[in-house]
């Protein structure tokens, strides 16, 4: 994770240097993205129980390396999660079957290569590929279990969530020109997490559980 962080910093510095030498245009914008997220469990007897609705927003910047190529980066606040069922020990009720809804908030710093077509009419199409290191800001959960009666309990998961997360990004989109350099932005991005989003130990199963979080988001924004 540290290597990924420093690699992203070096890439940003290198892009800035290329931008300064070649005087390529720089564009920035605002973006907001509803998303559908889920967990991919890797631990036996941890079962995915469906999707959750998330949302992200932030700033995006494109450093152009040529007419049709740019390094796109930014700062996003992303909310995503998922649902898992598993068996663990409860401090008051003993061993129980849990269904937990995870709600995570991360600061993400995506770095992608953006490849775009020339403008056709008012439209420019693009694809992008890269990665996104993320830093956990908040994590909470909602547990449902049966102990005589059915209970719903909110839990703080900040201490049971790793600080760092890494994901691969692939996306497509389109920009609609409003005149000059201003465009409306729309697209779809798949954020595929490949690091563990769980921390701590399941005392009943005597394992450190592992599950990665991924999400599919619809991007909407404006570029200047």
Tell me: pLDDT of 20 over 70.
no
Compute the average pLDDT of residues 5-15. 53
User: How do the domains of the chain map onto residue ranges?
Assistant: 2-223
- For residues 108 and 33, give the distance between their C-alpha atoms in angstroms, rounded to a whole number: 13
Please provide the CATH number assigned to the domain covering 2-223. 2.40.160.20
Q: Spell 101-127 as b/e; 16+ CB within 10 A means b.
A: bbbbbbebbbbbebebeeeeeeebebe
Tell me: pLDDT of 115 over 70.
yes
- For residues 100 and 144, give the distance between their C-alpha atoms in angstroms, rounded to a whole number: 6
pLDDT at 25: 84
- For residues 220 and 69, give the distance between their C-alpha atoms in angstroms, rounded to a whole number: 21
pLDDT at 156: 97
pLDDT at 12: 53
Tell me: pLDDT of 5 over 70.
no
pLDDT in tens, 151-187: 999 999 999 999 999 999 999 999 999 998 899 999 9
Q: How confident is the model at residue 1 (pLDDT cuts 50, 70, 90)?
A: low
Tell me: pLDDT of 19 over 50.
no
Q: Phi/psi class of residue 148: alpha, beta or left (left: φ > 0; alpha: ψ in -120 to 50)?
A: left
Task: Report percent pLDDT > 90 for the chain.
Answer: 83
């Amino acid at each position: 994770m540290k290597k990924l962080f420093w690699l992203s910093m070096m890439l940003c510095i290198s892009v800035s240097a290329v931008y300064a030498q070649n005087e390529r245009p720089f564009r920035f914008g605002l973006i907001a993205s509803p998303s559908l997220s889920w967990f991919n469990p890797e631990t036996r007897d941890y079962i995915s129980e469906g999707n959750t609705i998330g949302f992200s927003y932030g700033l995006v910047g494109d450093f152009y390396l040529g007419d049709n190529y740019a390094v796109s980066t930014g700062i996003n606040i992303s909310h995503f999660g998922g649902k898992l069922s598993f068996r663990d020990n409860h401090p008051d009720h003993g061993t129980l079957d849990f269904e937990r809804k995870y709600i995570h908030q991360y600061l993400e710093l995506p770095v992608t290569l953006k490849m775009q077509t020339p403008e056709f009419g008012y439209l420019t199409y693009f694809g992008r590929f890269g990665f996104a290191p993320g830093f956990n800001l908040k994590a909470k959960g909602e547990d449902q279990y049966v102990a005589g009666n059915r209970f719903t309990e909110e839990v703080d998961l900040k201490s049971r969530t790793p600080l760092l997360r890494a994901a691969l990004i692939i996306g497509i989109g389109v920009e609609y020109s409003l005149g000059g350099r201003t465009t409306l932005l729309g697209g779809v991005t798949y954020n595929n997490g490949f690091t563990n989003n769980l921390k701590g130990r399941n005392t009943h199963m005597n394992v450190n559980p592992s599950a990665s979080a991924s999400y599919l988001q619809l991007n909407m924004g404006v570029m200047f």
